[in-house]
């Protein structure tokens, strides 16, 4: 009988499930791609040929992320309530405003880059005045949102928003590399790959600083760091996030080989690494506390 009844019970479940992880991943990816397109268009002319792909990637991945987030809502038809009601202390309220603004800017930016031509640079430049702050907000607000949970040590870190932004840049650029593989710009991609290595190194440094601080930060924090280093999440942490998701692709990209296959492999591994990092933070935070 208990088995029968258990079907009707609300199973204990996570507040933030894989859908939220996927949204965090795609939102960060979108912001990273947009930021890269702006940088490539205006400050790093070497990478200008790649700006168009990045600019088009941004709104598409954001739309996909927002779609997944919408599916995660308890009542789908109420998604628009977020636009009507506003709670100034809620990071989610602010996030939804920045998401909406960023979506518009990313679309306009993608359209400009798609058209190309003379006015493209000045138009994207003007859009960037609104777009860059919005992209930064979209990439980082999720990290601040997690910081608002008082009981979860894994989420209590000033580094979290920065880690999320850095991961967004890595995944945005990695996806841009993937999309640009067919364009016969192998040398350019190899050059961009070496730049990504710097971001990956930063990510590794921040991750370990975070873990070291956790390990010395009281009973619960030490428990969380053990779960990452030797416990429940150690396989994902060492295997997927650190080794496969950061070290291996960094080594491949640092070698600077212009082989399309290797570049594709490294990019995919980087995406896996960034996704797993978000998974460990979001799901792990709820499970280990």
Contacts for 221 with CB less than 8 Å, ≥ 6 apart: 153, 213, 214, 215
Question: Which of 185, 232, 258, 286 is in the footprint of another protein by CB under 8 A?
Answer: 286
User: In this complex, which beta carbon is closest to another protein, that of residue 126 or of residue 148?
Assistant: 148
Kindly state the smallest distance separating residue 209's Cβ from another protein, in Å.
24
Q: Please, what's the b/e burial string for 73-87 (b: 16 or more CB within 10 A of its CB; e: otherwise)?
A: eeeeeeeeebeeeee
Instruction: Single out the residue of 66, 59, 63, 67 nearest to residue 110, CA to CA.
Output: 59
Q: How many CB atoms lie within 10 A of CB 46?
A: 11
* 12-31: contacts with another protein (CB under 8 A): 13, 15-16
Kindly state the smallest distance separating residue 142's Cβ from another protein, in Å.
11
8 near another protein, judged by CB under 8 A: yes
User: In this complex, which beta carbon is closest to another protein, that of residue 5 or of residue 129?
Assistant: 5
User: In this complex, which beta carbon is closest to another protein, that of residue 69 or of residue 242?
Assistant: 69
Q: Which runs of E-coded beta strand occur in the chain?
A: none
User: In this complex, which beta carbon is closest to another protein, that of residue 44 or of residue 149?
Assistant: 149
* 114-173: contacts with another protein (CB under 8 A): 145, 148-152
219 near another protein, judged by CB under 8 A: no
Q: Tell me the window of 3-11, 116-124, 127-135, 195-203 that interacts with another protein (CB under 8 A).
A: 3-11
SS3 128: helix
The contact mask relative to another protein for 71-110 (x = CB under 8 A, - = no) is -xxxx--xx-xx-xxxx-xxxxx--x--------------
Kindly state the smallest distance separating residue 90's Cβ from another protein, in Å.
5
User: In this complex, which beta carbon is closest to another protein, that of residue 179 or of residue 222?
Assistant: 222
How far apart CA 88 and CA 255 sit, in angstroms, is 48
Q: How many residues bind another protein (CB under 8 A)?
A: 36
Question: Which of 3, 11, 182, 219 is in the footprint of another protein by CB under 8 A?
Answer: 11
Q: What is the DSSP string of 62-75?
A: HHHHHHHHHHHSSS
End-to-end CA separation in angstroms for the chain: 33
User: Both tokens of residue 172?
Assistant: 């945005």
SS3 185: coil
How far apart CA 222 and CA 213 sit, in angstroms, is 9
User: Of all helices (H) and strands (E), which one includes residue 136?
Assistant: helix 120-147
User: In this complex, which beta carbon is closest to another protein, that of residue 68 or of residue 113?
Assistant: 68
Judged by the rule CB under 8 A, the positions of this chain that interact with another protein are 1, 4-6, 8-11, 13, 15-16, 72-75, 78-79, 81-82, 84-87, 89-93, 96, 145, 148-152, 286
């Amino acid at each position: 009988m208990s088995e029968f009844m258990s079907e009707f019970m609300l199973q204990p479940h996570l507040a933030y499930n894989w859908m939220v992880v996927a949204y965090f991943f795609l939102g960060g990816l979108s912001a990273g791609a947009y930021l890269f397109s702006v940088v490539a268009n205006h400050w790093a002319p070497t990478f200008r040929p790649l700006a168009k792909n990045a600019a088009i990637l941004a709104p598409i991945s954001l739309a996909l992320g927002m779609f997944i987030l919408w599916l995660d809502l308890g009542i789908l038809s109420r998604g628009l309530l977020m636009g009507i009601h506003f709670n100034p202390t809620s990071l989610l309220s602010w996030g939804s405003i920045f998401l909406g603004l960023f979506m518009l800017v990313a679309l306009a930016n993608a359209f400009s880059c798609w058209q190309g031509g003379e006015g493209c640079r000045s138009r994207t430049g003007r859009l960037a005045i609104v777009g860059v702050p919005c992209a930064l907000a979209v990439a980082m607000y999720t990290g601040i949102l997690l910081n608002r949970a008082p009981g979860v040590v894994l989420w209590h870190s000033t580094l979290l928003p920065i880690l999320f932004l850095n991961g967004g840049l890595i995944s945005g650029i990695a996806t841009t590399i993937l999309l640009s593989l067919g364009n016969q710009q192998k040398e350019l991609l190899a050059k961009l790959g070496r730049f990504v290595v710097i971001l990956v190194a930063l990510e590794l440094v921040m991750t370990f600083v975070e873990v070291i601080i956790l390990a010395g930060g009281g009973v619960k924090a030490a428990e969380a760091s053990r779960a990452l280093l030797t416990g429940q999440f150690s396989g994902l942490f060492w295997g997927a996030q650190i080794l496969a998701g950061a070290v291996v692709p960094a080594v491949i990209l640092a070698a600077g080989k212009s082989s399309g296959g290797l570049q594709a492999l490294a990019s995919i591994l980087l995406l896996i690494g960034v996704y797993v990092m978000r998974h460990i933070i979001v799901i792990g935070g709820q499970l280990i506390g």
